[in-house]
């Protein structure tokens, strides 16, 4: 079974939701038969790479709230993250463009390091002091720490076209599936789970999706030649 997760590194609920989903997956009896794929979704795709601002300022401006309200919201998020065993800095974080991070995640997917890079990016953004925005050297350090080759990482960051089509394809697909927010989880292209739901909700969704998998219907007249473990059928000489 495949689970696809649309998310953004700048999304705190994606950070929390990933932890809750992984808690549910760890308890799922068929967890070793579940493939998890991370898909790209930008919360702020129009933001310039060098447009970086404090999270509290961004929240107050975007949602028309006071900074006191923004601080209260961050405190709530910090408590939610702590309940999942996650570190979360409720003050002095910033916000910016995540396009390069998504491009690197597609590179990491090719090398089987996507989940490791995703987790390191989340931690860097939400738990560590140094910013991840508009700082290629910071991203190089995070990506190589996840096991990627430094030369490959630098090549991707130097070429804004590298993996750009893959990121945009993910985002178009999200829109086609009706995802207008993240995190958004899709199980076997049959069920969608929106938001950072409790682990119990993910457990039910995994169980239901697994139980309703459609077995393969075989169409075979028994006469077609084929290859198998014992070799290939040799057609009779005419």
pLDDT band at 213 (very low <50, low <70, confident <90, very high): confident
Q: How far is CA 8 from the centre of its chain?
A: 7
Residue 61 belongs to what H/E stretch?
Answer: helix 55-63
> How confident is the model over 112-119, as a mean pLDDT?
98
pLDDT at 170: 98
Q: For the chain, give the mean pLDDT.
A: 93
Angstrom distance (rounded) from CA 12 to CA 196: 9
What is the DSSP secondary-structure string of 85-114? Answer: T-----SS-EE---HHHHHHHHHHHHTT-H
Asked if pLDDT for residue 55 goes beyond 70, the answer is yes
Which tokens is 110 given?
């090719």
pLDDT at 63: 92
pLDDT at 226: 62
Max CA distance (Å), the chain: 87
Angstrom distance (rounded) from CA 44 to CA 10: 9
pLDDT tens, residue by residue, 125-176 = 999 999 999 999 999 999 999 999 999 999 999 999 999 999 999 999 999 9
What's the whole-model pTM score? 0.89
């Amino acid at each position: 079974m495949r689970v696809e997760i649309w998310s953004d590194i700048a999304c705190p609920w994606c950070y929390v939701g990933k932890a809750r989903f992984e808690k549910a997956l760890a308890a799922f009896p068929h967890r070793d038969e579940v493939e998890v794929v991370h898909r790209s979704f930008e919360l702020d795709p129009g933001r310039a790479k060098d447009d970086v601002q404090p999270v509290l300022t961004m929240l107050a401006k975007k949602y028309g709230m006071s900074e006191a309200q923004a601080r209260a919201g961050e405190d709530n998020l910090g408590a939610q993250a702590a309940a999942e065993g996650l570190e979360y800095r409720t003050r002095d974080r910033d916000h910016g463009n995540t396009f390069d991070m998504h491009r690197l995640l597609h590179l990491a997917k090719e090398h089987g390091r996507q989940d490791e890079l995703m987790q390191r990016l989340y931690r860097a953004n939400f738990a560590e002091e140094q910013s991840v925005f508009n700082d290629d050297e910071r991203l190089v350090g995070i990506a190589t720490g996840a096991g990627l080759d430094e030369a490959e990482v630098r090549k991707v960051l130097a070429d804004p076209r590298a993996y750009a089509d893959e990121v945009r394809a993910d985002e178009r697909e999200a829109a086609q599936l009706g995802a207008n927010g993240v995190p958004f989880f899709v199980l076997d292209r049959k069920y969608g789970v929106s938001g950072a739901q409790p682990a119990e909700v993910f457990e039910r969704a995994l169980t239901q999706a697994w139980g309703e998998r459609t077995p393969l219907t075989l169409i075979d007249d028994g006469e077609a030649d084929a290859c198998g473990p014992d070799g290939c059928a040799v057609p009779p000489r005419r």
